[in-house]
Amino acid sequence: MNVDDNPNLMDKVTALCKRRGFIFPSSEIYGGLQGFWDYGPLGVELKNNIKREWWKKMVYEREDVVGIDAAIIMNPEVWKASGHLEAFTDPLMECKICHQRVRADNKEAITEHEKSHKDKEIKWTEPRSFNLMTEVFLGVTEPKLKSYLRGEITQGAFVNFQNVVNSSRVKVPFGIAQIGKAFRNEITPGNFIFRMREFEQMELEYFIKPNEEESKNTFEYFKKLRIEWYEFLGIKKENLRFREHEDDERAHYARYATDIEYNSPFGWKEFEGIHNRGDYDLKNHRLSYHDPESGENYIPWVIETSGGVDRAALFLLLDSYHEEEKRVILKLNPKIAPYKVAVFPLLANKPELVDKAKEIYLNLKLKINSVFDARGNIGKRYFAQDEIGTPWCVTVDFKSLEDDMVTIRDRDSAGQERVGIGKLGEYFDSKLN
Ligand code: GAP
């Protein structure tokens, strides 16, 4: 749903996430912590489904990509070489009245803050660079080793470049895929899970020959592949666009960059970054490649696609949110929906219906994530499942006891059909694959 149609969309989705167990403020009973969020029983399913679909698209469907899972904390020399200790910064300025800090390039935050001192003339300090890396101290004896929680998951792929080449059968061009947590000491975390201090990234580092034309073609190829993936997940085309980075906003490692942006309730915002990193990283880590066929030695260039799992979760929730009279429906792609099927007995006080429904549920659950519900009346159960995006509800009624058939109700059309219990597995397989 678009914000023009629903001005309180962000509040409604945030409240739904808390109420139904998608996302909670982290350590809430102690007042929470800015920039940190916990995923609940439904949120973890949503997030795992997004990651599974990404891995399918970027690794399993290809012959030229392998995956890794690198450690979050690395030798601090990595971050010196990668330029993060020097250049991974945001411009920060401080309000001289109340000492609140904001990003100097965040016009919205500045205006919002100035409104809070409406009668006073506000003065800001000069912008200064603020490093986003989160420090950690390791070991038991002083001085402890200072290292960092990774600010991007990427460096794990670069420092393992030689290990991957030596241990697998990859040859340039090839990619290393990875999904994992990254940490940034963001100056102004906010907009729910849009800007967090702990978040998850899904990235492909694709290594190619150092060649301008090949890098441009590869860059264009991945732009298309990535935007199509978001459309495949169900994000409306009109809510997606590309935006080229200006010279003054590019990350220190990028030769050029394009964002895929989403039309969110707080404006067009970055969904995923696609970067041409050239030889920046491998060169800084003093790594190169020996081409076994041509005998050439060179430093490959890198085209990177870097998306946020949390942003995908947020934008999918916003995009799929619908209201129809008093009914809320999350029209999530069934592949992404936390539960695929909900199974109900028509009446909760008839043991023969409950037993049959339980049996169906336990069988389905072995193959696809399903839920059993016998609370309230059937209409309320449909409402409750629509609100969390469950695509199909299966009801066992008295006729089911005679003909071994159940009613399947479709979330989006509200249409119903009778299907044999023995055919349910096949029925849902065909819908989900
Ligand atoms: N390795 C390249 C890289 O990290 P980035 O543009 O800084 O590039 C990539 O980040 C993606 O990670 C973003 O497009 C966004 O989806 C996600 N991301 C970055 N910072 C985030 C934050 N503070 N909270 C949530 N997601 C974030």
CA distance 176 to 115: 47
- Annotate 320-337 with DSSP letters as a single string: HEEEETTEEEE---TTTS
Buried b (16+ CB within 10 A) or exposed e, 262-298: bbbbeeebbbbbbbbbbbbbbebbebebeeeeeeeeb
27: number of Cβ within 10 Å: 11
Q: What is the pLDDT of residue 3?
A: 59
Would the pTM count as exceeding 0.85? yes
| Residue 250: exposure state from Cβ atoms within 10 A (0-12, 13-18, ≥19) | middle
What are the structure tokens assigned to 190, written together?
A: 């906010």
Residues lining ligand 1, CB < 6 A? 152, 154, 184, 186, 195-196, 199, 201, 203, 270, 272-273, 304, 306-308, 310-311
Q: What is the pLDDT of residue 119?
A: 81
Most informative mutation of 311, 314, 315, 316 for ligand 1 (most atoms within 8 A of CB): 311
pLDDT of the residue at 326? 86
Cα-to-centroid distance, 196 and ligand 1 (Å): 10
Question: Which residue's alpha carbon is nearest to atom 6 within ligand 1?
Answer: 273
Q: Quick one: which atom of ligand 1 is closest to the CA of 251?
A: 7
C-beta of residue 431 within 8 angstroms of C-beta of residue 334: yes
Which helix (DSSP H) or strand (DSSP E) does residue 258 occupy?
Answer: strand 256-264
Dihedrals φ, ψ of 16, to 5°?
-60, -40
Asked if residue 162 lies in contact with residue 176, where contact means CB atoms within 8 angstroms, the answer is: no
Q: How many CA atoms lie within 13 A of 325 on its CB side?
A: 1
**Ligand 1 atom closest to 311 (CA):** 16
Could you give the count of Cα atoms lying within 13 Å of 2 in the half-sphere of its Cβ? 11
- Rounded Cα distance between 204 and 77, Å, is 23
**Per-residue confidence (pLDDT) for residue 29, from 0 to 100:** 98
Nearest atom in ligand 1 to the alpha carbon of residue 260 is 14
Residue 307's nearest CA partner among 222, 432, 215 is: 222
What are the strands of the beta sheet with 240-244, ordered from one edge?
65-67, 174-183, 198-208, 301-308, 267-278, 256-264, 240-244
Please name the amino acid found at residue 303.
I
pLDDT tens-digit profile, the chain (433 residues): 665 678 899 999 999 999 999 999 999 999 999 999 999 999 999 999 999 999 999 999 999 999 999 999 999 999 999 999 999 999 999 999 999 999 998 888 898 899 899 888 889 999 999 999 999 999 999 999 999 999 999 999 999 999 999 999 899 999 999 999 999 999 999 999 999 999 999 999 999 999 999 999 999 999 999 999 999 999 999 999 999 999 888 999 999 999 999 999 999 999 999 999 999 999 999 999 999 999 999 999 999 999 999 999 999 999 999 999 889 999 999 999 999 999 999 999 999 999 999 999 999 999 999 999 999 999 999 999 999 999 999 999 999 999 999 999 999 999 999 999 999 999 999 999 8
Name the residue with the closest Cα to ligand 1, atom 12: 308
